[in-house]
Amino acid sequence: MRAVVAMASPSDGARTQRPNARRMLALHGKGGNAASFERALRPLVDATRDTWEWIFLDGTVSELNPGGRGWWTLRPGERSYSATELPGVDESKELVRSTGPWDGVFGFSQGAMLAALVAADDEANARGDSGCTVRECAIIVGAAWPTCEAAKLESMSTARLQSLHVIGSKDGINPPEQARRLASRFGAGARVFEHDGGHIVPMDADALDTYKAFLDVK
């Protein structure tokens, strides 16, 4: 297992991580890896460094593209929402648990679904905050409904976590209506930010302001 701990950008000069910073786990999408996701989230990492320490994990399974990783295996042409099984998902959930606890989690695509499944496990096990894998918040970006693993999501009635769900109206990989269905399981307090892009992690000014406003209230 490889982890990337986000360090200060050269332009940050003498800025250092505060010793009481909360721990944010970042979970990349299928075909990405810890290092590439850290580069993609660099503007947000730098903007929140005073209060959050970002740790990026590599997925547990290898993908066909060089250096690519995933959190479970899919057959060619198969999607997480249509699969009848997700081989590797239990190992990935255990990796998140064993490296925690985490104050927050930020997931994209497969990583977003993994984050939601871990949150559902926490809810199903009815543990107090001190015993949960993720204790405060989740940012779920570009997710789908993981049908074959969704029983615990279906049973969530009131989510303990504060959550932000980021949905692309032109997402051609994970249909927006599935992301909205996932958001609904996190209760009435779930926040939704919709952008006019596709299957991406938006990092424009509006998106950054939304992320920062959400994280600042923790």
Q: What is the pLDDT of residue 124?
A: 85
Residue 107 located in a structural domain: yes
How far, in Å, are 3, 40, 97, 125 from residue 131 at the CA level? 23, 31, 10, 10
Q: What is the pLDDT of residue 7?
A: 52
Place of tokens 């740790």: 55
| Total domains in the fold of the chain | 1
How far, in Å, are 62, 105, 145, 148, 201 from residue 54 at the CA level? 23, 9, 26, 30, 16
Residue 70 located in a structural domain: no
User: Model confidence at 13, in pLDDT bands (50, 70, 90)?
Assistant: very low
The answer to whether residue 199 is catalytic is: yes
Q: What is the pLDDT of residue 8?
A: 46
User: Model confidence at 21, in pLDDT bands (50, 70, 90)?
Assistant: confident
Exposure string of 89-123, with b = 16+ CB inside 10 Å and e = fewer, is beebbebbbeebbbbbbbbbbbbbbbbbbbbbbbb
Q: What's the average model confidence in pLDDT over 180-190?
A: 93
Q: What is the pLDDT of residue 92?
A: 98
Q: Which of 58, 103, 121, 171 is catalytic?
A: 171
Q: Which of 109, 121, 122, 165 is catalytic?
A: 109
Residue 22 located in a structural domain: no
Domain housing 180:
40-58+100-216
Mean pLDDT is lowest, of 12-26, 125-139, 154-168, for 12-26
The answer to whether residue 103 is catalytic is: no
Other CB atoms closer than 10 Å to residue 44's CB: what's the count? 23
**Is 5 exposed, middle or buried (CB count within 10 Å of its CB: 0-12, 13-18, 19+)?**
exposed
Q: What's the average model confidence in pLDDT over 76-84?
A: 94
Q: What is the pLDDT of residue 139?
A: 98
Q: What is the pLDDT of residue 15?
A: 43
Q: What's the average model confidence in pLDDT over 106-129?
A: 89
The answer to whether residue 11 is catalytic is: no
Q: What is the pLDDT of residue 157?
A: 67
Question: What is the C-alpha to C-alpha distance for residues 167 and 146, in angstroms, rounded to an integer?
Answer: 16
CATH of the domain at 105: 3.40.50.1820
pLDDT in tens, 139-182: 999 999 999 999 989 988 667 899 999 999 999 999 999 999 99
User: Model confidence at 5, in pLDDT bands (50, 70, 90)?
Assistant: confident
Whole-model pTM: value is: 0.91
Average pLDDT value over all residues in the chain: 90
Q: Which of 36, 46, 184, 199 is catalytic?
A: 199
> Which residues does 127 contact at the CB level (< 8 Å), separation at least 6?
none
**68 close to 28: Cβ distance less than 8 angstroms:** no
Residue 76 located in a structural domain: no
Give the percent of the chain with pLDDT over 70.
Answer: 88
Residue 79 located in a structural domain: no
- Angle CA 64–68–71, to nearest 5: 100
Q: What is the pLDDT of residue 129?
A: 56
Joined together, the tokens standing for residue 205 give: 């000014």
Q: What is the pLDDT of residue 130?
A: 60
Closest CA to 96 of 74, 124, 116: 116
